[in-house]
Structure 1
Amino acid sequence: MSKTYDDVLMDWMFYREDKLQLFTDIKNHMKAVYLSDNKPMILAVSFGKDSSMVLTLFLEMLNSLTPAERQKKVYVISADTLVETESMASYVRKNLEAVGRIGKELGIEILLSAPNPKEKFFYNVIGKGLPAPNGKSRFRWCSGKLKLSPMNRTIEYILKQCPVDFDVVDFDATLLIGTRLDESVARANSIRKFEVSDYFSKHHTYEKLRVYTPIKTITTFDLWIYLENFVQVFPWGELVSELRAMYEDGKECPIVRSVNDKACGSNSSRNGCWVCLMSGRRDGMLETLIEKGHKDAPYLAEWKAFLFDVANDVRYREPLRRKEYRSHLSGVDQGEYTPITIFEELDPSSHYYHTFQRAKKGNENGEFRPGGFTITLRKILLEKLLYTQEKVGYTLIEEEEITSILEAWNEDGFEFSRKELQPVNHQYDGSIVFHPDWTLNTKETTNPNPIFYVEYKFKFGFDDMIAYIKERQQFMKDQIFCYFDHDDLVDDGIVWNKAVFVVAREDIQTQKEADEYVARWLYIDGAEALGADGKPFNKMVGKSKDAAIHHLLIDTLYEGLKLKKEMAS
């Protein structure tokens, strides 16, 4: 049976010296490690409870050394994901600056890592349309891009500074981290998996980097009792009570060493990233800030909830994944479509019938597995983010990142100018969610509007049909979700592809309105002409006109074949 906080408190009352000796032993061990070689030491800190404890004990150890003993290079490194709450980010910056001030005489260099432009959260979600990881995600990219890669670049920089020598020691530097066995089963297993001795383990990435976990046996209760009663003020001058308040606000996210570390969003660790969806729609950190009167928190919480709500809405997901688009478009000459004439001989043995490139519904198993966010949603998310930024009164996204996002959109064929993007408080009308078998997930679907399915037939092969749909998306700067399939009339020797569009909007209440909405999106080129009455109207030209004509011809043929069969029966 595990001990409660009161049990541990009683142990401290009756065995105080023994308890304090635990921390003295750690400092003595740190001293022995420090003096055992001339290799640099790296302290990875998030200024949460664990890394603050390691840094406290290490600085106390350093101050106990004589100037002659204190000759080793020490780096204190931290990661800024650029999406922490302002209170969390300012807390880390304040502590780093304080450590930097006292660290100059101790041989300490401060290094703060951050994502590069293509690793940033908003670039990936809004720029590239990459869905943000949530508790059910198979691909959790954010820790790797926002923390692990930036920290690895910092470590690589440090390792390059290490002098080349021929010592028998098989490492170039020692990395100190605050990982503890008491944190979680997963953390404990991770520590033991790479251990080479009681306190040292191999680094996941760098062979010449030794990982040192000096506080791994300290329990959470013992850690807090020591910090609050025997430290109270960190060696760099900040108050332990302020750190404790950060935990009450739920705003701490530890250092990540590998993509296997589930550092954020779980119950075992606090989360500082206000955009994180790992813990679900509700955010305990932001809710606590709201309760405490932080004026910015409601706007941050609203944007995050919006992102969570839209994540699985089929209307805002690409019908194919990026690599599937590339595969289909690689064999198509852009701007050249060659639909086969509808008046081919209706013969099941014809060359046309057997070689026609049939569209496939879903993934290789026929399942609904959508791609990334559509350009429609990406634009909505950015506009709502700009609105949120306007309301909180500080920078959430730099103009440089907005420029990178526009470049990413342009790479996908969507040209927007910065002037087209203005703060807009978009509201969400509720989700449309499918099961993998393409049936409507009524449990998770919350949209109150009627859902319409609009089918359009194409004599384009699958690649050409994808190219045509992609061209329409780029021209309209907007997307309507559709899935692809084909109809195969074996007896008549005819086949065609089709796109089935899913429409659910407040302003569309009938099938006819849905049909017209899709038709305008699918066929109107936007070129204006004057009608007989002298009024301008949009007309169909070029490929859109050809596609519309072939759709009508196929529909006519299909109805004729159906009537013929009905009469024969």
Structure 2
Amino acid sequence: MSQKKTLYSSMDEMLEASEFAGRPAHDLVREIQELYLENEKPWVIGFSGGKDSTTVLSLVYVALTGLPATKRHKHIYVISSDTLVETPMVVDMINDSIEAINKNAEQQRLPISAHVVYPAWNETFWVNLLGKGYPAPTQNFRWCTERMKIDPVSAFIKDKIARFGEVIVVLGARSQESSSRAQVIAKHKIEGSSLSRHSSLPGAFTYMPIEDWTFDEVWMYLLGAPAPWGGDHFELFELYKDSSAGECPLVIDTNTPSCGNSRFGCWTCTVVTKDRAIEGLINSGEVWLKKLKSFRNKLFKTTLPENKNEFRNFKRRTGRIQYARGAIDNDNIAEIKTIPGPYLLEYRKQWLKELLTIEKNLIAEGRKIQLIHPEELHAIRKEWMFDPNEPDWSDELPKIYHSVYGEDLDWVEHDSGAFSQADADLIDELSAENGVPAELVMKLLELELSMDGLSRRKGLFNKIESLLKNDWGSMEDIQAAKAAATHTSDFKNKLKNELKADSTDLHLKSVYDEQLKALTKEYEALS
């Protein structure tokens, strides 16, 4: 616990003496109380653990304790979103706060409960990046925000809407934080009300009690009096001071500004060039974070345009090459470029081993930390086994884990599939002899196994056709086949046009069709 003293001995004393955004503090508390008593809509407070959301939670907490017990008629849910890759010190601080809030609320018999929401196990950062091979997030492909933040929070809010009809979401958003945030706040404001309409959740309204506060006013409030649930906010202040960072807002929709501006957020974030929050913490003495920073920087380098083709498959997860037209050269010919797909499996395996090694070493140093969870490892294993481009029949993940920790997890037996490395080696050998891509044969066998035993194998031929239409073989083979197909297609179109020009009589249609078939067959034989 911090030994520093607050300016006022109690929250009541500070509220009576203070003014924020040109408004007496006790007047804002009264507004919160009136809004709470106005209807039966339960409240959901977004709590990220940072300065703004902590301020809002504190104000609501004070307002509720100021009401008679008989008037505390509806529940207030406090939710914090943990992406499972948050900055470790922030996670510890949030967990301590949530524990203190729940304990104090129970003691004071307040209708408040704090909860942590997580992404689904098949949508975590590591399952998407290491399992599915998603490239590290960038400004143009920030796949993490929706899967890891919006979806878990939205699911919680939707559950409350389903139960109560409507809810009020209380947020620590401030107009001064950014111009984009100010625009979002103004856009959804309800005229004559302190509420705004939620941009994407019908039945949800938002309330932002400190939207007009300045940065200095937020800290003046937090450092002016003890926290209403116990303790103070000096630890939070020291964390901000050491990292020179801001907080990551609780993201509730795609309009909410996400992280990526040296804010506290995911230590794996590659949207920014440098993670100044982590660097600030390292410079303040948390040197152990260098291991996480180094790993994050390695992922960031894979997002650079000059490195993409080295780390990523030339095919997308659909099994096909996606083309993008490049610039026009001096001969007025457009350069055809390919859009790289997921990370190659060899790199995903390498990075998983590095991540587990970092985790093991940190634990050996006495740090209570978990960088990747067993549930994620099980999900990644499944993704590798049935990867659309590089199925891992050798089942490498359990071997990687054992090589690092010297022990095994409780691996599910059927996860390993029906094929082994010996089967894969045999298919490689036969494929080389017969000129058939090994991966195609493996995917066809997997399809057959998945349909085995079904009384109705509906859609089997469509699935086989879909697999056969994928791009198989090396990039050179695929490009050569595409060129040949294009040449043949051009010949057919030219032939059709020439024959049609001579086939003005409808009675000649059958003759035209026969000529076309014969000539096409002859051309293909020559090709």
TM-score (normalised: structure 2): 0.68
Contact persistence 2:87–2:264 (CA under 8 A): no
Q: CA deviation at 1:373?
A: 0.8
Give the Cα–Cα distance (whole angstroms) in 2 for the partners of residues 368 and 191 of structure 1.
40
Alignment of 1:388-537 (within 5 A): 388-393=358-363, 394-412=369-387, 413-415=391-393, 416-422=395-401, 482=475, 484-486=478-480
Query: Partner amino acid for 1:391?
Result: N
Give the Cα–Cα distance (whole angstroms) in 2 for the partners of residues 361 and 94 of structure 1.
48
RMSD: 3.2
SS at match of 1:384: helix
1:62 aligns to what?
A: 64
Deviations 1:376-425 (A, max 9, x none): 11111111111111122132111221111010011112132444215899
Query: Partner amino acid for 2:41?
Result: K
Q: CA deviation at 1:247?
A: 1.4
2:324 aligns to what?
A: 363
Alignment of 1:127-206 (within 5 A): 127-134=131-138, 137-162=139-164, 172-197=166-191, 198-206=193-201
Contact persistence 1:195–1:201 (CA under 8 A): yes
Q: CA deviation at 1:199?
A: 2.5
Query: Partner amino acid for 1:396?
Result: L
2:259 aligns to what?
A: 264
1:273 aligns to what?
A: 266
Give the Cα–Cα distance (whole angstroms) in 1 for the partners of residues 443 and 475 of structure 2.
12
SS at match of 2:206: strand
Query: Partner amino acid for 1:181?
Result: S
Identity within the alignment, %: 28
**Higher helix proportion:** 2
SS at match of 2:114: strand
Give the Cα–Cα distance (whole angstroms) in 2 for the partners of residues 468 and 21 of structure 1.
72
Give the Cα–Cα distance (whole angstroms) in 2 for the partners of residues 466 and 112 of structure 1.
50
TM-score (normalised: structure 1): 0.63
Q: CA deviation at 1:207?
A: 1.4
Deviations 1:37-70 (A, max 9, x none): 1221111111211111111111111111111112
* Structure 1 residues 18 and 113: alpha-carbon distance in aligned structure 2, compared to 1, 3 A threshold: closer
Deviations 1:249-296 (A, max 9, x none): 2373220011232321125xx12311011222x322222222233253
Contact persistence 1:132–1:142 (CA under 8 A): no
Query: Partner amino acid for 2:195?
Result: F
For residue 293 of structure 1, the aligned residue among 271, 280, 285 is: 285
For residue 103 of structure 2, the aligned residue among 94, 101, 104 is: 101
1:243 aligns to what?
A: 236
Structure 1, unaligned stretches of length 5 or more?
A: 1-15, 163-170, 329-359, 426-459, 496-560, 562-569
Structure 2, unaligned stretches of length 5 or more?
A: 1-16, 327-335, 364-368, 405-430, 446-471, 490-526
Which structure 1 residue ranges, 4+ long, deviate > 3 Å from structure 2?
Answer: 16-22, 360-365, 422-425, 464-475, 479-484, 487-490
2:366 aligns to what?
A: none
Alignment of 1:338-349 (within 5 A): none
2:248 aligns to what?
A: 253
Answering whether residue 126 of structure 2 is matched by residue 122 of structure 1, we say yes
1:376 aligns to what?
A: 346
SS at match of 1:110: strand
Give the Cα–Cα distance (whole angstroms) in 1 for the partners of residues 276 and 179 of structure 2.
23
* Structure 1 residues 488 and 368: alpha-carbon distance in aligned structure 2, compared to 1, 3 A threshold: closer
Query: Partner amino acid for 2:228?
Result: P
Contact persistence 1:390–1:423 (CA under 8 A): no
2:87 aligns to what?
A: 85
Query: Partner amino acid for 2:96?
Result: K
Query: Partner amino acid for 1:157?
Result: D
2:301 aligns to what?
A: 309
Q: CA deviation at 1:468?
A: 5.1
Query: Partner amino acid for 1:421?
Result: I
Answering whether residue 214 of structure 2 is matched by residue 219 of structure 1, we say yes
* Structure 1 residues 402 and 68: alpha-carbon distance in aligned structure 2, compared to 1, 3 A threshold: same
Contact persistence 1:130–1:373 (CA under 8 A): yes
Contact persistence 1:488–1:494 (CA under 8 A): no
Q: CA deviation at 1:494?
A: 9.1
Contact persistence 1:319–1:481 (CA under 8 A): no
